[in-house]
Structure 1
Amino acid sequence: MALPCASSLKIFPLSSFSHCFPPQNDFTFFSSSPSPYVPKTHSEKPSKLIKNSFNSSSRLSYRFSAVEDHYDDDDDDTSDNCSFDEAVALFNDREYYKCHDYLEALWNMAQEPTRTLIHGILQCAVGFHHLFNQNHKGAMMELGEGLCKLRKMNFVSGPFHQFEQEISAVLDFIYQTQIELAACEH
């Protein structure tokens, strides 16, 4: 499998993550550092992005230059007929657990450097799964590991570089929010 030339993963606006944190009375989430998100209160629901919106979202379009391989193992339904397209669609639909399964099947088949890229995206999916289940420590760990793998790819421009930058912003948002929540608890 060749390295994808572009991709279609999207990161939702950072403000959509505010509902993932426990409410602190009528606390509004603000960051002490400049950030690319608009603060919202914990009671606001995340908004779905319009498919072609580039507003505060990472959109990556991708293509594999080779025909995608599939597992021969008939026992694992996830590994049969899974593609990067499907994994991206699952990621974009916030079905991070299932996205992880698809990416894991692709990761197991991949050769370097595609293997590292897929593993990084896989860990980001796991990180978002943890985040939306309010496991902030797990989210920071997995997003951090995924970000390290994306940075290892040395993207200097393009959609994967943009995705890497937005994962970094999400990780910073979670970290800053955890600091603020800890300060409120004392």
Structure 2
Amino acid sequence: MATTVRDLPGTGSGGEFERDQHGQPAFTFTIDGQKVTAHEGQTILSAAVAHGILDIPNLCNDEKLDPTSACRMCLVEIAGQSRALPSCNTPAAPGLDVTTKSKKLTHIRRTNVEMILSDHNAYCQPPCQVGCPTHIDIPGYLELIAKGQPREAARLVKEVLPFPYMLGVVCPAPCQEDCRRALVDEEIAICRMHGFAAEQCLD
């Protein structure tokens, strides 16, 4: 039988915990009307994910990192609170009534995305692909080559370039000048990899 612990520090008057099979204090609260169980110190977002509630949007959350609330995409409404709070950095507590979907939250999240993208360039494409006059999927064919699938890489190149080998020979490789790898090491030999993939079309 579970052991009930009342009025633990930080739970407020009348808070009630039960011990789970590992001896951790556990309690319940609701997310969009669904009852979920959480442990002391667990955030609303992590409790939601643990119960298969995966539609709370987030960009900066990573289980390997401490929460920063940087993106403000995981905001939720909590009954009794005057403003939306980041679920990645708000501790779950007994009896919370959490709402993850509303017109207000949709508006806030859309505004936050617009702010994030306001100074974002390259349309989320890698600089090498933006710098390529043909805009072929450079990361795509490099990944296929790295996986030992040169013929698949060649097929990907041919979706845009009907004569990939010839164009690869004469290409001045502006993509390599924009390669981000040069910031930490040296640029990838993109043009050579293009030629390698294109050679697979010749036999």
TM range (shorter): under 0.3
Structure that is richer in strand per residue: 2
State the TM-score, normalizing by the size of structure 1: 0.25
Higher RCO, Cα 8 Å, sep 6+: 1
State the TM-score, normalizing by the size of structure 2: 0.24
Structure that is richer in helix per residue: 1
